Amino acid sequence: MNNLSLESRCWNTFFIEDVAEIVSGRDIYEKERWDGLVPYITATANNNGIGYFVANNNDTLERGCLSVNRNGSVGYCFYHPYEALYGNDTRKLRLKRNNRYVALFISLCITKQREKYGYGYKMGTGRLKRQRILLPVDASDNPDWAFMEAYMKQKEKQILKPTIERLCKQLITSDILGGGKTLYSNWKEFVFGEEFSIQSTNSGIDKNKLNQKDGVIPYITRSDLNNGMDMFVTEQSLRYKVDEGNVITIGLDTQTVFYQPTSFYTGQNIQIIRHAKLDRYNAMFLIVAIKKLVEKFSWGSYGATLTRLRKSRVYLPATDNGEIDFAFMSSFMKEVEHNILNTTLKVFKDRISINKSKMGGGKMEELPLV
């Protein structure tokens, strides 16, 4: 099937319980939670519903399910092809047709219904079972699973093709810039505040005083999600100065460290790290070292302060002259990027080739794998 369209199909309404078994999750309370590698699904609209990674196990551990938030970010529906644990603020859906592409299609259909729900009208098990969703149907008026699968494969190919082309260009650029040519470097301890400019943010706008009108300027907070960005905002009043980009931001008390390539505003208690030789590559290297540095700060007797940060020592690559080796850090991270791009590109190309073969199409248009 080629050039599939939603408009060309017949549609009908179905209860969610007609297409999926609905099961309650079970909470893992914070004091019982152990850090690990198992995704723990909570009522968040971010990170595909993953709130934490844990080492716990309980009877909600399962692979290949949908999750629906019944609290917090009510109504968002996500697909989990991996083994995951599900909290009580989610409902786990076991689809009667367990297929990745069908699951993605249905998750979008469910999420479209979220506007009618909220804190006072939660999407609990009973309401979820009787919630109607529109689905394409076959000649027998049953859900057209084959169409849903084929349509989502088509959408995936449409999305991945420009992504692959962009990755190819990035990979070529990475080669030109020196990817794959890491140099040897010595290492040395440096006093952080003697090598870098460390200042409080120019803005520091409390969120309740923020002009939250949509714009293009990132508003950076101490969150550990989305590069620290809470939202995009418009220009603020003149009392708040925008911070220039090409810097590293630190939320000391939350130990969050990110590179900001463009101008931005911030919430409170954000520190700004600047250096004339900073770029997006060596910044990624430095972030790892800075995170190690701030891990020692705590809420107790050795709290996170700007003075302590400036006096702290950080272990970094050094040149023969004993200066920080920014060139080495940039070269190293270019090689890391080069390897990631190459691997990602191969995965995407393989996925499209497999889908094309399953759909009975001809040979996929070749894209260069450099």
pLDDT in tens, 134-192: 999 999 999 999 999 999 988 888 887 777 666 666 655 555 444 444 455 688 899 99
Predicted pLDDT of residue 179: 47
CATH class of segment(s) 10-142: alpha beta
DSSP 230-295: EEEE----TTSPPBPSSEEEEETTTTEEEEE-S-BEE-SS-EEEE-TT--HHHHHHHHHHHHHHHT
CB 90 within 8 A of CB 49: yes
Residue of 66, 48, 49, 72 whose CA lies nearest to 122: 72
Q: What is the identity of the amino acid at 261?
A: P
Would you state the pLDDT for residue 215?
Answer: 86
pLDDT at residue 367 tops 50:
no
Each residue of 200-252: pLDDT tens digit? 888 888 888 888 888 899 999 888 778 888 889 888 888 888 899 999 999 87
Taking alpha carbons only, the member of 194, 193, 242 closest to residue 220 is 242
Confirm or reject CATH 3.30.300.30 for domain 186-324, answering yes or no: no
Q: Is 90 exceeded by the pLDDT of residue 117?
A: no
- Per-residue pLDDT tens digits for 253-262: 778 899 999 9
Q: Residue 124 has which token pair?
A: 């609990």
Say which DSSP state 193 is in: H
- Which stretch of 102-106, 299-303, 355-359, 363-367 has the lowest confidence by average pLDDT? 363-367
How distant, in Å, are the alpha carbons of 70, 264, 293, 321 from that of 229? 25, 9, 22, 38
| Residue recorded with tokens 């996925």 | 351
Distance between CA atoms of 102 and 148, rounded to whole angstroms? 6
> Cβ–Cβ contacts within 10 Å for residue 128, how many?
23
d(CA 288, CA 348): 28
How many beta carbons lie within 10 A of that of residue 322, not counting itself? 10
Residue 65 has pLDDT above 90, yes or no: yes
Mean pLDDT confidence for 89-96 = 92
Confidence of residue 353 (pLDDT cuts 50, 70, 90): low
